[in-house]
Structure 1
């Protein structure tokens, strides 16, 4: 049997939603042990002068407790 915890994080990228997801997962994995999954809860963009400047995601990251 295992017990998991879910934590919410946000991550940004200057390139894409995929880049923001990768950045968030890499950072979470560097801090948390046993990251086992993530759910993209929300996606937003910041626009300046009609151009997308940043892509942001809110992730629900699951990690298994030791």
Structure 2
């Protein structure tokens, strides 16, 4: 098996978990076989002294398909 890893960024006003799930769900639209998610970085933008948006940088690993062209 061959795997590939890519880096993505997700953002959510609700939570860190939601930001991860948003990035993962978007990747899953075009990528099959996602196997792992690694959270590389967590940050937040602040407005009026409170967290306004959570941002996460994640790496997802997925299996490279054996087929070349169909």
Category of TM-score, reference length = shorter chain: over 0.9
The offset of 1:49, in angstroms, is 1.2
User: Structure 1: 5+ residue runs without aligned partners?
Assistant: none
Q: Distance in 1 between matches of 2:39 and 2:10?
A: 11
Residues 1-66 of structure 1 aligned to structure 2 (within 5 Å): 2-66=1-65
SS in 2 for 1:33: coil
Q: Deviations over 1:30-59 (max 9, x none)?
A: 121111111000000000110110000000
Q: Which has the larger radius of gyration?
A: 2
Regions of 4+ moved over 3 Å: none
Q: Distance in 1 between matches of 2:5 and 2:21?
A: 18
User: Structure 2: 5+ residue runs without aligned partners?
Assistant: 66-70
Q: TM-score, normalised by structure 1?
A: 0.94
Question: What RMSD in Å do the two structures reach over aligned CA positions?
Answer: 0.6
The number of aligned residues is 65
